[in-house]
Structure 1
Amino acid sequence: MQRLYLKELLTFAESELEFDSGLVVLTGPSGAGKSVLMQSVLSSFGHGGGEAKICEVTLDKPEKINSEAYELDDELTIRSLKKDRIRFYLNGQNISKKALQALFVSSIKYLSVRDKGGFESAVLLDLLDDSLKSRNKSYKKLIKEYQQRYKHYNIKLSELFKIKEDEKKLSELIEFTTYEIEKIKEIDPKNGEDEELIRIKQQLSKIDKINDALLQSNMIFESESSILEVFRLLGKDETYFADTMSQLRIDFEETQSLTEELADINVEEILDRLEKISGLKNRYGSIGETLDYLVLKEKELTAYQMIEQDKSTLESFLSLEYNELMILAQRISRSRQKEAKKIEERLAVYLKDLKLPRVKFIFEGVNLLPLGIDHVDILMGHSVTSTLSGGEFNRLRLALLVIAMEEKREEGGVIILDEIDANVSGDESIAIASMISKLSSVYQIFAISHQAHLSALADQHILVGKVSGNSYVKVLNEEERIVEISRIIGGEKSNKEAIAFAKMLRAKV
């Protein structure tokens, strides 16, 4: 973070600060507004609510941050405005509190005595895995293989679950699709058949009239020879009349043959066939559309039947892959447990300085999960992390951060500490100050301090004071730092011994 600007924050009228890198410590009398000021900073990153009418935080863009939703420059400005409610803006772009927290979650770490996060099983497993991967390439490949195969396994498991969930529905689909296919195949419609049947039906309805007309029309042939004789007597060409009569005789013979064929047709069968064809057309459209539907349903039925085969194949695959994943997960678990022993030893050194007992990683086996078959907690003495006091919890978390930094697994960022050295003894205060100072070589750290040791080690010392009910902030120079550190040591009326001790602490930096 580079800069902070506040306006109308409770007892702060207007304040502006420019921050140095490394360790930034805020001190001052109780009630001056240190926590209020720090909460405004935290609210800019989505932690809790802010009370300032205007709050602006400027910072360098963390390397880990990427967003498709927001344009991010190399320098970021988070601005909050409070009227009827608080509105947040990131480089002028409207952004929600939830989105802010998600965006900066990996870059802005907030360690509060009231927050018991950071020791969840997933976090501890990541710590062990990172430690192993930093030194062991084969373990890195092992984790990558497990995660890729587990992801594929989980996808296939979801597919099998869906098949089983839809099994009853699938059975009904197969039954209904089979019924529709059989119904169409039983009728076996042909393209154009409906038109031919209608034509035959129409002819059948006229067959009696056609027969009567043919019977009466045949009388014309009785006069044919007489007419031809007239043509010959008159010396006229009889060819036209003869040809016409020949064609007429052919037509009559064909009509007679048709009526004989129609007489052999079963009218009831034609009508029944027409009714079935009409039923298909009413349901599916034309005969062409009916046949297209038949092809579609046959493909669907094949697909449904393939699903049944897929279920069997999936079950076989999952059974084999589960066994393979268990082998990988067991190898991972053994490596983690060995690494946990090493980290326990390294932690013991720092915990001794912090006046804390040794810790032990407790492993519990679970079913296959994305991180393996391990559930991990930490046991300190006889207490699990969930039962530790706020002070113990924060000091343990601080020690783990130092271990992570020494492994060079952490890539920096900002840590905001909430009164981490409150209510601790002198030796504990020295150990806490030393660890925070180490962390500040990688992180920019903001800490409210009540102890001289941490204040003396600060790269930047900010005083939060109050005069006549109005709070103010001031970056202290060396002389002013001695005065403030001596106040922390000896109270408001510090003596020569307190001043001398303050100078000694500063001289050691």
Structure 2
Amino acid sequence: MIERLYLRELVTFDEVELEFDKGLVVLTGPSGAGKSVLMSAILSSFGHTTQGAASLCEVNLLKPAGLQSDAYKLEDDLTIKTLKKEKLRYFIEGQNISKKVLAELFSPYVKYLSVRDKGGFDSESLLEMIDSSLVAKDKIYKKLLKEYKKRYANYKTKAAELAKIKEDEVKLAELIEFATYEVEKIERINPQPDEEEELLKVKQQLSRIDKIKDALNSASEIFACESSVEEVYRLLDKDTSAFSEMMNQLRADFEDTETLADELEEVNVEEVLDRLSDLTTLKNRYGSIEEALAYKEAKKEELSGYQNIEQDKSMLESFLALEFTELTIIGSRLSQSRQQESLVLESLLREYLETLKLPALSFVFESISLDERGIDKAEVTLGSSKMATLSGGEFNRVRLALMAASINNISQSKGVLILDEIDANVSGDESIAIATMIAKLSRVYQIFAISHQPHLSAQADQHIVVTKEGILSKVEILNDEGRVQEIARIIGGENPTSQALEFAKRLRV
């Protein structure tokens, strides 16, 4: 519910501050006074239009039930502000918001019916209206519809998974071939984590083996002098144990070196170099031997996943076939209830449409493949005419009648409804019927309507008159006496007769 409107510098309005009541708020006044301009400011605050935007406009409202946003912090008492300088900027609770996001946020709660707008009779809107009527009075239908929507959402997810598998099947052979090649290449080389270091050491030793052997042969002559050195120690009465120990160690080291030289003689140098080349190739591709081994395991796991794809595909196909059947059964039950409810709505509408001098409205259902709403496609005809052939005025009156007929079992607030001269250019009987329908809608909507007819003005919970003095427009909330005077003006012109005043008083009773 919109509680307050404040604006400055709006075309012919200098400053306006209004506090609104619940129910039906009617704006009247002479042509050209600024009623549509004022209404456009309200619409602009919710992202519907930028025409006639004020330099500053603030709208205070109670947060609608269900309104929530992950991007914006919303209090129970909301403030929407628009500022117009070089361009129009929007704020909600002091937070900058784009016009598009603002419109999307409030689209379920602020509805605008314009003569130029022929929306609302598409299949989705019609089915939503019938579903809302059924949900409000039939708990079994409500539960069934909830189950269908939940299962259909899962069905769509699984169908997308199957489509992805089928799409990937074209590439699957290539993926398997590539993964197999990568695994086999690494397994063929079969690298070990510390292997390269050992091979480099062997390579270094091989490059020095000849020098080692020559040096070993020359150094071995030292053992020919060993006994002479020991004799010198004995003659000098010195201990030979340290010398003997050193010579034994030297002899052992020389033997180890000879053994290594013999082993290196058996090593195939080309094999060592080739092995090092293979390891270097892996390092260049994967970063390190450890990373190559990790990549191999990942590819093996990937291959295992590919092998399960065919099984997954078969399981998904079976699930979808079964779920399609189940959803079709639930969709058929929903369709039966909808068609029965449509007959109830047709009956409720008949009286409204007769007063509007319009033929009966009929719902037409067509079975379609499964979608998020079931198996139904719905449209309406007015007599033998389709909705697309109606004039803007006829179209809006039918839409209004349909909305009025669909709220019989609804008590919770449905937000704000803004009407643009909905009763313009109609007869007296039609004006009465329109006023009755709008008054009924005002039980669940806060309605803002511009009117040039006395009947709708008389039904208002709050009556606001817009007038113009010179170049400036002004607004006034009328008391009971003022309302009678304004309704009389609508009936009889600027100087209403006593008969017009009497008729205005009777309308207000």
Residues 118-145 of structure 1: CA deviation (Å, up to 9, x unaligned): 2222121111112222232222221111
**CA deviation after TM superposition for structure 1 residue 267, in Å:** 2.9
Q: Is the 8 A contact 2:411 2:444 kept in 1?
A: no
What one-letter code is carried by the residue in structure 1 that aligns with 2:3?
Answer: Q
Query: How far is 1:179 from its partner?
Result: 1.5
Of 189, 192, 200, the residue aligned with 1:187 is 189
Go from structure 1 to structure 2 and tell me whether the alpha carbon gap of 1:431 and 1:223 turns closer, same or farther (over 3 Å shift): closer
2:24–2:442: 8 Å Cα contact kept in structure 1? yes
Q: Does residue 1:131 correspond to 2:141, yes or no?
A: no
Equivalent residue for 1:172, pick from 162, 171, 174: 174
1:395/1:432 contact within 8 Å kept: yes
Query: In structure 1, how many angstroms separate the alpha carbons of the residues matched to 2:215 and 2:467?
Result: 125
- Alignment correspondent of 1:46: 47
**Residues 51 and 208 of structure 1, relative CA distance in 2, 3 Å threshold:** closer
Residues 19-70 of structure 1 deviation map (CA, whole Å, 9 limit, x = unaligned) = 3333222222222222222222222222212243333333333334333444
Superposed, which structure 2 residues align to 1:26-105 within 5 Å?
Answer: 26-49=27-50, 50-105=52-107
Residues 416 and 446 of structure 1 are in contact (CA less than 8 Å); yes or no, is this contact kept in structure 2?
yes
Query: Which of 459, 462, 465 is equivalent to 1:460?
Result: 462
Q: CA deviation at 1:399?
A: 1.6
> 1 CA distance for matches of 2:287 and 2:12?
80
Q: Residues 129, 271 of structure 1: CA spacing in aligned structure 2 closer, same or farther, 3 A cutoff?
A: same
Cα distance, 1:147 vs. partner?
Answer: 1.0
Partner Cα separation in structure 2 for residue 57 and residue 237 of structure 1:
112
In structure 1, what is the equivalent of residue 25 of structure 2?
Answer: 24
SS in 1 for 2:119: coil
- Contact 1:23–1:445 (Cα < 8 Å) also in 2: yes
Residue 324 of structure 1 pairs with residue 329 of structure 2: no
Structure 1, residues 173-220: CA drift from partner, whole Å, max 9, x if none? 332222122112112223333233333333333444444455555555
Which portions of structure 1, spanning 4 or more consecutive aligned residues, are displaced by more than 6 angstroms? 225-238
Are the counterparts in 2 of residues 131 and 409 from structure 1 also a CA contact under 8 Å? no
Letter aligned with residue 198 of structure 1:
L
SS at 1:106's partner residue?
A: coil
Q: Tell me the distance in 1 between the aligned counterparts of 2:79 and 2:260.
A: 96
**By how many angstroms is 1:112 displaced?**
1.4
Instruction: Return the alpha-carbon distance in structure 2 between the equivalents of residues 33 and 325 of structure 1.
Output: 53
Query: Alpha carbons of 1:4 and 1:212: their partners in 2 closer, same or farther (altered >3 Å)?
Result: closer
Q: 1:11 to 1:269 in 2, by over 3 A?
A: closer
Gaps of 5+ in 1: none
Paired AA for residue 43 in structure 1:
S
1:156 counterpart residue number: 158
CA pair 246-493 structure 1, distance change in 2 beyond 3 A:
closer
For 2:379 and 2:459, how far apart are their aligned partners in 1?
33
Are 2:133 and 2:407, in contact at CA under 8 Å, matched by a contact in 1?
Answer: no
* Alignment of 1:3 onto 2:7: no
Q: Give the alignment of 1:87-486 within 5 angstroms.
A: 87-216=89-218, 248-408=250-410, 410-486=412-488
State the 1:237 CA deviation: 6.3
- How many Å separate the matches in 2 of 1:70 and 1:292? 45
The C-alpha deviation readout for 1:403-461, integer Å capped at 9, x for no partner, is 23211165243222211111111211111112222222333322222222222222333
- Once the two structures are TM-superposed, the CA of residue 225 in structure 1 deviates from its matched residue by 6.2
Q: Is the 8 A contact 1:366 1:374 kept in 2?
A: yes
Confirm or deny: 8 A CA contact 1:64 1:107 kept in the other structure. no
Q: CA-to-partner distance for each residue in 1:478-503, whole Å, 9 max, x for gaps?
A: 33333332332233443333333223
Structure 2: unaligned runs, 5 residues or longer: none
Q: Secondary structure at the match of 2:488?
A: helix
Counterpart Cα distance in 2 of 1:92 and 1:240: 94
SS in 2 for 1:362: strand
1:189 is paired with a residue of what secondary structure?
A: coil
Quick one: structure 1 residues 212 and 399, their matched pair in 2 at CA, closer, same or farther if it must change by over 3 Å?
same
Secondary structure of 1:154's match?
A: helix
What secondary structure sits across from 2:406 in the alignment?
helix
Question: Cα gap change, 1:387/1:252 in structure 2, threshold over 3 Å: closer, same or farther?
Answer: same
- The answer (yes or no) to whether the contact 1:404–1:410 under 8 Å persists in 2 is no
Does structure 1 conserve the Cα–Cα contact (< 8 Å) formed by 2:57 and 2:82? yes
Instruction: Please say if residues 113 and 396 of structure 2, whose CA atoms lie closer than 8 Å, have aligned partners that are also in contact.
Output: yes
Q: In terms of mean alpha carbon deviation, does 284-293 or 20-29 score higher?
A: 284-293
Tell me how far 1:224 sits from its aligned partner. Answer: 5.8
Q: Return the alpha-carbon distance in structure 2 between the equivalents of residues 124 and 457 of structure 1.
A: 28
TM-score, normalised to structure 2's length? 0.88
8 Å CA contact 1:27–1:462 kept in 2: the answer is: yes
Deviations 1:132-165, CA, capped at 9 Å, x for gaps: 2223222222111111111112222222333333
TM-score by length of 1: 0.88
In structure 2, the residue matched to 1:504 is 506
Query: Paired residues, what number?
Result: 507
Q: Which amino acid aligns with 2:444?
A: V
RMSD (Å), alpha carbons: 3.0
Distance in 2 separating the partners of 1:225 and 1:214: 20
- Indicate if the aligned counterparts of 2:133 and 2:410 stay in contact, CA closer than 8 A: no
SS at match of 2:407: helix
Structure 1 residues 263 and 387 mapped into 2: Cα distance closer, same or farther (>3 Å)? Answer: same
Structure-2 change in CA distance of 1:380 and 1:239 (3 Å): same
Instruction: Quickly say closer, same or farther: Cα 1:78–1:269, change in 2 above 3 A.
Output: closer
In 1, Cα distance between the equivalents of 2:16 and 2:196? 91
Distance 1:331 1:255, change over 3 A: same
Deviates more, 1:402-411 or 1:254-263: 254-263
The 1-side partners of 2:304 and 2:392 are apart by 64
Secondary structure, counterpart of 1:2 in structure 2: strand
Tell me, in whole angstroms, the C-alpha distance in 2 between the residues paired with 1:213 and 1:306: 64
SS of the residue corresponding to residue 115 of structure 1 reads: coil
1:116 alignment partner AA: K
Offset of 1:238 from its aligned partner? Answer: 6.2
Structure 1 22/260 Cα, relative in aligned 2: closer, same or farther at 3 Å?
closer
Q: For the residues of structure 1 that align with 2:56 and 2:235, how far apart are their CA atoms?
A: 129
